[in-house]
Amino acid sequence: MANVSINGNVTDSVMVFGNNNYVVKLGDVNGGVVNIIKPSDKPKYSARPTPVTIKPRAFPSLLDRENEFETIKKAAQFSTPVSVWGQAGIGKTSFIRHLTHVLDMGNFTSGMVYLNAAGLGYEDLLQALFDSFFDSASSYKPATAEILHALQGIKALIFLDDLQIGRDESASMLDAAPGSLFLLSSTERNLWGEGEAIQLRGLPEGESLKLFEKELSRPLSDQEKPTAIKICSALQGHPLQILQAAALARENGKSLENLLAEISGEKTENKSMAYVGLAHLSASEKQILALLAAAGGHIVPQEHINGIFKGGANQKDLQRLTALGLVQSHSPRYSISDTLVSAISTAWDITSWQDVLLNHAINWLSQQPASALVEESSGLLIHTIKSAGERKKWREVIQLGRLLEKFMVYYKRWQAWMDILNLILTAAKALKDSKVTAWALHQLGSRALYLGHASEAKAFLTQALNIRQALGDRAGVAITQHNINTLNGIIAPLKGSTSGCRKYLGYGCGGAIGLVVLAIMAWIGFNLITPNTPPTKMIPTRPTITRTNTSSPTPSVTPTDTPTATMTPTETFTPTATPTPVLLYDFVVNADDAYWYQDGSGESVVELKFLTEPLEPNPEFYLSNVSDGYGYAGWDFDVPMVKERNRKQVILAYPYYQYHQIIGEYTPFFDKPHPDAYLEVKVGYKDVPADDPVGVTFRIYLNEKLVFEESSTLEKRPVIYIPNTPVNVFEGVNVFRLEVDAADGVATQDYPLWAVVKLWDRKP
């Protein structure tokens, strides 16, 4: 296996050193391995010589914008941050490019840096800024805290173009480098309550006419000028649309009167489709536009276009589309504007082209292209996998995600890495693929461990370990257990000269002796290193269990024939806000997606098969005649609940004996945070005869934090709880745990049930 070096290729193995004296290595099919390194082995970084200067090409022919420039000039004198915003194509990037060459750097001794922030989240932006001002090994990945510490002393003029983060994260970006001046460019306003906010609008009449005439490549006659002025006015001075209109008149010989009539007849503010219709495009030209629309406005290298269009796309088609202003050339790469993406996606059905792009991306990455080519296509590839997730192409999401993730690690885009892992986890759960689910959880835990998020790492790795043990995946168990040991400070040096799993671990992947060693090391780590805490404050760590299961293999993707773009209009819907609470997750309905087990309070943990079909004649028969000392977890229907109406569907959780716990762990994924979410909970007893029931305690944990606890006995008769305290649900995977804990007594049976457990986005 080849290791990665600067400017090298990403093949099988990626190794990253640095944070918290950890090293993480990816490449094994079972997931990443995290080890402890000596502090002396931790890579160092150093400041680059100042002033640092990273500028785009100049834009010397900027029209208008004098007033905006004066405002920014004054803001720079007082180090006041600026948000430049406006609709796509209005000229924000041209304006920013111009500013980087004319704005006085003043006292910004660290220099001037321009970054294209398109597609970068907050954490990846911080990494890009760190790399701009500091020099470090390509294998060194600092954590966010370390980056923030390093940026505190930077005093620079920083331009972030095409910024796509929210207002709160924008404010955090300013705090990251408080001695620097930020100029932010975006389609939406980023700064509120501080700094200058400058909205770029269309060009005035005189400047619009100059731009039209320049693109027309000839002077306007006196007869044409009034019509050209009306065209520019109809386009509201929008620079990109003026360029497209003039290019259409130049290339197709359209009279300005006909052009004005078509533009005026277009009902939408976006006139892009009017230009497409007027251009009388050929079928092959429409195919190229459809493909670029499927790419979501991201740049598509010529290599991909040639690979998708068998025999290569006609260069004349690309040249004509570029001349018409419909396609932007970044030789040898191409894209279309966001406004045209929106127009084409509304007017045409591009689903088949999204599939073509998805299949091509999988096949292309499978061929191990050079890392520089993948980096050039990273925006396109990330858009492609997110689009696949939106369309629930789950198998393709897993295939593309597993091919792409190691590149995100290598490029230090760890926020993008997390997003991809969460997509894979969602896909694996949708397909009920336990093996991939365990792999994704292992990767998320390894990432969290390296970054120093111990609680998050423990939750993910523990879930991965449980699933892998259940599957009998000995190699996977060994690697996950190894990372848990690392979390607890147990050192197992990385051995890169051996083969198989031994190159990652100081012990083998199989054999009873190896597993015993793992179990002993884990017990030592959790009991001697981890501080003791009461069981109601933290989820207890479970001993090793064994269960078996199978998962279906992920099929390979078969390339499809190149489809032809169609002009089928599609109806769009605008969602409206509703004041009623939104149900985020129903734990009863989704109980068969959870992992259920019995914890015997120091005894072996035993997996419980969740019974989706209650045994005949009833679930109580299971405890008396079938269970062999194990508890019961499963659904029951039309259940008589003590002092409650019958419940249509409930979760029965019968601990068999004292000290036993019946536990279900859920890992739902949420696409955005819900800081004020509410749990609606109703628990109690099934109204059946019982042999000396003693009682149980119901608990709910969220991300290792106890959020609900109530005790109940059959004598007290029943139990309906609705907590009034909101819970904080994070974006991404959250770990919920439902627990029924048998009381200290001699009862052999209890009959508790979860009747309602629902998570709402607000108080129900």
Within 13 Å of residue 254, how many CA atoms lie on the same side as its CB? 26
DSSP label at 6? T
Asked whether 1 and 12 are in contact (CB, 8 A), the reply is: yes
Q: What does the DSSP assignment read for 370-418?
A: -HHHHHHTHHHHHHHHHHHHHTT-HHHHHHHHHHHHHHHHHTT-HHHHH
CA distance 132 to 145: 17
Report the pLDDT value the prediction gives residue 715, as an integer from 0 to 100: 60
Give the predicted TM-score (pTM) of the model.
Answer: 0.64
User: For the chain, which residues score pLDDT lower than 50?
Assistant: 1-13, 492-578, 602, 746-747
The gap between the terminal CA atoms of the chain, to the nearest Å, is 55
**Which positions ≥6 away from 735 have C-beta within 8 Å?**
459, 460, 463, 665, 666, 667, 701, 702, 703, 704
Q: What is the pLDDT of residues 216-238, one digit of tens each?
A: 889 999 999 999 999 999 888 99
User: Considering the domain 583-760 in this protein, what is its CATH number?
Assistant: 2.60.120
CA distance 738 to 742: 13
CA distance 653 to 655: 6
CB atoms within 10 A of CB 526: 18
Report the pLDDT value the prediction gives residue 26, as an integer from 0 to 100: 72
CATH number of this structure's domain 47-199, picked from the four choices 3.40.50.970, 3.40.50.720, 3.30.70.1060, 3.40.50.300: 3.40.50.300
Q: What is the dihedral of CA 98, 99, 100, 105, to 10 degrees?
A: 150
Asked whether 237 and 204 are in contact (CB, 8 A), the reply is: yes
Q: What is the pLDDT of residues 392-408, one digit of tens each?
A: 999 999 999 999 998 99
Average pLDDT, the chain: 79
Task: Find, among 540, 570, 519, 548, the residue nearest to 659 by Cα.
Answer: 540
Task: Find, among 595, 718, 617, the residue nearest to 668 by Cα.
Answer: 595
CA distance 470 to 434: 9
